[in-house]
Amino acid sequence: MNKKERALFVEKKLAELFPNPKAPLKHKNAFTLLIAVLLSAQTTDKRVNIVTKDLFKVASTPEAMLKLGETKVYEHIKTCGLAPKKAKAIIETSKILIDKHSGKVPKDLSLLEELPGVGHKTASVVVSEFFKKPAFPVDTHIHRLAQRWGLTSGKSVNQTEKDLKELFDEMNWRNLHLQIIFYGRAFCTARGCDGTVCYMCKSLYPNRKNKIKTLKA
């Protein structure tokens, strides 16, 4: 198979396995989604949903979050990785949203990326999931699998994103983002597959003998 044929195979199989992928992070609005995604760095979605259940009861808007304060935000999220840094970023982001954006989460990717603790991937998730704008967020799972499946060289996360956007129709970017993550977690983990074990890897490269060493994000 050439690269385009591999992409079509992947797209079809993922649609069969995960036909209607739902965002794993629970949220009430654009702001709570932004905060949940910010918290998900080096933290499982399950853990994020646990801590935000109570946090969002008392602070589901920038105004309420700012009023809550950094210390209390930290108390809610302290079981997340990088909690002190994230608590500070959440308060700073809330203040900027109030001061510069009338308390609203901007729809523009570049404006989102200016917020503390919000990188390109986080911004892409928000515009894709909440604002329904074409974006293809690339996390460590996607970066790893795209290399194993021969869809990118994996030289950088930016290159992987560029390659995937060229291969797939933008109408499917949102679903594929989630589907690849779900597949990676279930079948093609960092240690559980080396490019020769899972169904997708074996189907795309039936004659592959050597383990694939992927570049990290």
Over its length of 217 residues, how does the chain's per-residue pLDDT go in tens digits? 999 999 999 999 999 999 999 999 999 999 999 999 999 999 999 999 999 999 999 999 999 999 999 999 999 999 999 999 999 999 999 999 999 999 999 999 999 999 999 999 999 999 999 999 999 999 999 999 999 999 999 999 999 999 999 999 999 999 999 999 999 999 999 999 999 999 999 999 999 999 999 998 8
pLDDT in tens, 150-191: 999 999 999 999 999 999 999 999 999 999 999 999 999 999
Same domain, 156 and 107: no
- Count of structural domains, the chain: 2
Which ranges in the chain belong to alpha helices (H)?
Answer: 3-17, 30-39, 45-58, 62-68, 70-77, 83-101, 109-113, 120-129, 140-148, 157-167, 173-186, 199-204
DSSP state of 95: H
Range of the domain at 177: 3-20+136-204
Same domain, 50 and 102: yes
- CATH number for the domain that contains residue 160: 1.10.1670.10
Q: Which residue do the tokens 């592959």 mark? A: 208
